[in-house]
Amino acid sequence: MLKSFSSRKIWLYLCILIPFLVGCIPGGGSGSGGSGSSGPASQNILLLSDIHFNPFAECTADVTPCPSLEALIENNIDQWPGLLSSEAINNYKEETNNAFLTRGFDNLAPIVASKHVNIVLISGDLLTHDFDTNYNKFAPSQYQNNFTDFCAKTLLYVVQELQKRLPADTKIYVTLGNNDSDIGNYKVQSKAFLNALAIVLAKYVDSNNKANFITSFGSGGYFSVPLSDKLTLIGLNTNSFSTATTDGSASNEQLAWFEGELIKAQNSNKKVILFQHIPYGINLYFAAASGQAVSTLNDNLQAGYLDLLNRYSSVISSVYAGHFHSEFLSLVDGKIPLIGTIAFNSFFGNNPGFKVVNISSEGKFNGYITYFFSQVNGAPMVWTPLYDYASTYGTPAMITLTLKNFPYDFTDPRVIEYRNYFSGGDGAVNGFITEDAKWKSYYCGIKYTDLQGYTECIQGIR
């Protein structure tokens, strides 16, 4: 009787009879990921952004200098867990305190294990908003010159606390956000700050690439590392492209380095994944609130960056970013998908969360699952799936076509879900796209990254 079955039918028949076998269905083994996974040739990556850890959470305006801050300044980060509170987590529209940070990392560790994640991408803003203001306010006078050192220590504490909860061989790669600077918000960081980070973060880089990592990160906060013999990861420092940039030398140096890395990948027949903090394109929140379209980055510098993405679009598989504290998707010149992730922090009133992204060995996008936590009514801190890409938007391999043809219709299920998931689902207390009138500002941002195309899209919607 079995002779009349195809080999796949026999396989599935055995799976039904022996349910305790693991990975019976082809493509469903441990290498598979969130959604739309592609089997052993694929891998899962944890994508975190906008953690905004606040080491000043236990300081109060009526007690200065702050005793807890003084203790942190004077001690190595290995001692920080015993100096910081781990009792009550922060609420919506508050910065991430130590309790939220450590419990959040505790509760994502089982997800990392179950999804066999061995690469973590943190796309910037590990530090709290107004870091410099709070330090100047609460630090003892004798430590006012220790600011750069404390910035670096705080960022590395976040990375260390995450690493402690993950397998020892997990690679953690970090790009810097606008708040991750010892010079000021959106400002290019000092060499002292970058070098302090580079020396420690280099431990996640293989020995053949460690020296290059320290040189590039220590010089400008950017880097390139191989993820496989077919795939390169490039992390960019978008502070040098930001609207606060007054000296274009740092951005020009990074763009020249970036093109050099793209040429290397092209000549080696490798693909590239980019990750950065500030996404290219339009500041959607500002556009929705004010009705005015402005770029997220400096217009001239963004133009040079987008030109590289356009010229090397056959090399670049996808771009991952944060900054908006929300879920978002976009295209550059209709070719390269940009995938944004919800913030780990709930400062903007969003539900906090993160993504597990599945990619092929060549960086092909295979889908993701976004996890979230609703803080409504003091709910226990447990990360649960919010949605997965494939079930919501369709086949991951078709993401470019999906975004090109994304509907505007308020009643379309994809639009309803995009708007709901943008702030992390039910319970979020912000109103990013709750108003119908704001939807066009976000809708046009999915399809257009340039001001002209975006403006024409807005004007074409009545």
Other Cβ atoms within 10 Å of 109 Cβ, number = 16
Distance CA 369, CA 421 (A): 12
**Pairing, β 384-388 against β 365-372:** antiparallel
The amino acid that residue 74 corresponds to is E
At 119-133, the pLDDT tens digits run: 999 999 999 999 999
Question: Do residues 430 and 423 lie in contact, with contact meaning Cβ atoms separated by under 8 Å?
Answer: yes
At 203-214, the pLDDT tens digits run: 999 999 999 999
Global pTM?
0.90
At 162-216, the pLDDT tens digits run: 999 999 999 999 999 999 999 999 999 999 999 999 999 999 999 999 999 999 9
116's torsion region: left (phi>0), alpha (psi -120 to 50) or beta? left
CA angle at 190 for the pair 65 and 220, rounded to the nearest 5°: 145
Please state the φ and ψ torsions of residue 329, each to the nearest 5 degrees: -135, 150
Question: Do residues 319 and 238 lie in contact, with contact meaning Cβ atoms separated by under 8 Å?
Answer: no
At 77-96, the pLDDT tens digits run: 999 999 998 889 999 999 99
Instruction: Tell me the two tokens of residue 198.
Output: 């580079």
At 404-450, the pLDDT tens digits run: 999 999 999 999 999 999 988 876 777 678 788 889 999 999 999 88
Distance CA 72, CA 49 (A): 24
Question: Do residues 412 and 58 lie in contact, with contact meaning Cβ atoms separated by under 8 Å?
Answer: no
Q: Which residues contact 135 (CB under 8 A, 6 or more apart)?
A: 56, 69, 147, 150
Assess whether pLDDT exceeds 90 at residue 27: no
Distance CA 2, CA 219 (A): 65
At 292-315, the pLDDT tens digits run: 999 999 988 888 898 999 999 999
